[in-house]
Amino acid sequence: MSSATHTFDADTVRAQFPILHQTVRGGKPLVYLDNAATTQKPLAVIDAISGYYRNDNSNVHRAVHTLAERATVAYDDARRSVQRFVGANDEREIVFTSGTTGGINLVAASWGRTFLGPDSEVIVSEIEHHSNIVPWQIVCKQTGATLRVAPVLDDGSLDLAALKRLITDKTALVALVHASNALGSINPIERVIEMAHAHGAKVLIDGAQAIPHLPVDVASLDVDFYSFSGHKVYGPTGIGVLYGKLDLLSAMPPFQGGGDMIDRVSFEGTTFAEPPARFEAGTPHIAGAIGLAAALDWVDAIGRQNIARYEDDLLQYGTALLQNIDGLRIIGTAEHKVGVLSFVVDGAHSQDIGTLLDMEGVAIRTGHHCAEPAMKRFGVPATARASLAVYNTREDLDRLADALRVVIRMLR
C-alpha cells in the first residue's frame, strides 16, 4: 500500500480528466456528481488502454510471438499491481472478474453451493446493494440455507449489537457492504470480521464504494473475500477483482468452464488449474486489467490517505450546504461516511430533481440506487444522490446547492 503523504492540488487533478472540461445543456459547465455510479477516467488510464490496443493487442497465455508475450507480461503485471494495492499476501489470491457483482456471484456459485446447507445461515444487512442480496437469496434457495438480515440504525449505521446477536455457530457467512452506495455509511468491518471469525464464519465484503475512497489492506483486515469494481476507482468498466484467501479459493470448484481454467481435459474427465486461473475461464478483459492497474497506480501516486482527507472535507462542506436548503432532508447521517449525499425534497420526485439539475449542468443520480430494501428502511421510494470523487471541488458543491434552490423554486 502507498505511504504517500504529500498534498495535492485539485485543479491539477481535474486537468487530467478530459471529460470534465466540457459544457452541456446550452453552454453550462459540467458538474459531475454521479461518482458512486461510475468515476471518470484520467489520461493515465485512457493512455494505458489505448497503448495496449495500439501496440500490444493479442490474447494472453496462448502464444509465443512478440505481441502475445508483451500482452501476457502486461496482464500478469496488472494482477501484481492489484495485489500490492489491496495488500494481499499472494498474487494467486487476486481473481479478475467483471466487477463487484461478478465477484460476489462467483463466491455464491462456487463457495456457496459447496459449503452451504440446510443448517447454514448467511447474514446481510438492510443497506446492501442488490448485488449483495440477490446472489445469496438464489444460493440459499438452492442449498436450503437461511438468509438473515442485520438492521441499521436511524442514521444509517450498522446496528452492531443486533448483528452480534444474529451471528451464531450456524452462521456460515457474513456478507456486508464496506461503504453503502445509497447512504455513504462506512461499516466497521474490522469489528464485524472479528465477530464472525469468533463463530467460525467467513466474511465477504462488497468494497465497490470503499476502494476509491479509503485505504484497504485485506491481509491486515483478515477478511476472507473482498470484491470491487474497476470503474468505481477511475478504471474501465467490465473489470473487477475478487480477493480470496488462497486456502479458500483452492477449496472452491470452478463455476465456469472453458479455456485457461483447466489442467488437463479428456472425455474421461477434466482436472482444473490452481487459483486464480481456475476462476478465469476464456479470454480475459486484458485491456481492462491493464487499465485498472494504471488507475490503481494513479490513485497511489496521489495517496489514499490524502484522497480520504480531501473527500471528507468536501463531504462536510457539502453536508452543511444542503442542510441549509429549506425542505431538503439528507438520508443517511452516520458519523463515518464516504462522499455520498443522498437526499429528498419535500413534495418533489427525485427523478424531477435530477432532470432539472441536469438542465443546470449538474449530473447526479436518482432512484433507489439498486438498494430497494434500504429505501424501504428509511420510508422513501427513492432519493437524489450526489456522490464525490477526488476531482470534485467546493465550487462543484456550490453549483449543486445553487441549482437545487432554483429547482426547488420551480417545483413549488
Of 36, 102, 43, nearest in space to 291 by CA: 43
Q: What is the DSSP letter of 252?
A: S
276 cis-preceded (ω within 30 degrees of 0): yes
Cell numbers for 229: 469494481
Grid coordinates representing 101?
457483482
> What 3-state class would DSSP assign to 237?
coil
As a whole number of angstroms, the distance between CA 102 and CA 93 comes to 16
Q: Side chain identity at 7, as an amino acid letter?
A: T
The sign of the CA dihedral 117, 142, 203, 292 is: positive
DSSP 128: -
Spot the catalytic one: 15, 370, 380, 411: 370
Instruction: Give the C-alpha separation, 237 to 357, whole Å.
Output: 26
CA distance 393 to 217: 28
Catalytic, 140? Answer: no
Residues that are catalytic: 370
